[in-house]
Amino acid sequence: MASRPAVGGGRWVDVAPARLEKWIAGFGERHGGATADGLTLTGGDGETAEFHLTVGSAGSLPELVEAANAPYRIALILARRGGYAVGVAAGDRLTASKVDSKYVQSRTAAGGWSQQRFARRRANQARQVWDAAADTAVRVLVPALPVTALVCGGDRQAVDEILADPRLAALAAVRVDRFLEVADPRLAVLEQAVAQARSVRVLLSS
């Protein structure tokens, strides 16, 4: 299972809802037994596993398993320079989506007035992308309201620009804290983002 370092120590792993119950049982087998305190397991060897839901809430491990497998509806917005993807998922299945890309110039090493003109042109191109993404979100996501949560990913500044549109205020109000790391938005990336959003993050510490 792939893991990634956590700020402050330890490492993160993602566990799919369907595997969660088995993973919890396996933790005790791997670490000489385990005791539960809320959403934290402590192994007999001192290893701890702290569970975090992206969507939903739970106060105990049985509630965690139930919440992780609930067929909730979520909205997603992914954005990076020159492209975006929006979608609605029911459970682990996309029910509506739209993906688009538009040209935004890369950075240049030129200086002086040419650099300033380039920067303005690039900013205008990016602004057009975010405006188009906001219009798409209004068409695809707003009719799906209410949803349990909005999950975002890609470039944080780009997503913030999109959600600044007042027409998306109801979506912004249910945005979760977790921000997904994703590649350039494509349909396959959006589908993977649904799986990421539904997975349970586990912080492992010694």
Give me the domains of the chain, ranges plus CATH numbers. Answer: 3-70+200-205 (no CATH), 73-197 (3.30.420.60)
Q: Report how far Cα 52 is from the mean position of its chain's Cα atoms.
A: 13
Taking only the tens place, the pLDDT of each residue in 92-112 is: 999 999 999 864 445 544 554
* Average pLDDT of the residues of the chain: 89
Q: What is the Cα–Cα distance from 40 to 89, expressed in whole angstroms?
A: 29
For 155, the 3-state DSSP assignment is coil
User: pTM here?
Assistant: 0.86
Taking only the tens place, the pLDDT of each residue in 15-68 is: 999 999 999 999 999 999 999 999 999 999 999 999 999 999 999 999 999 999
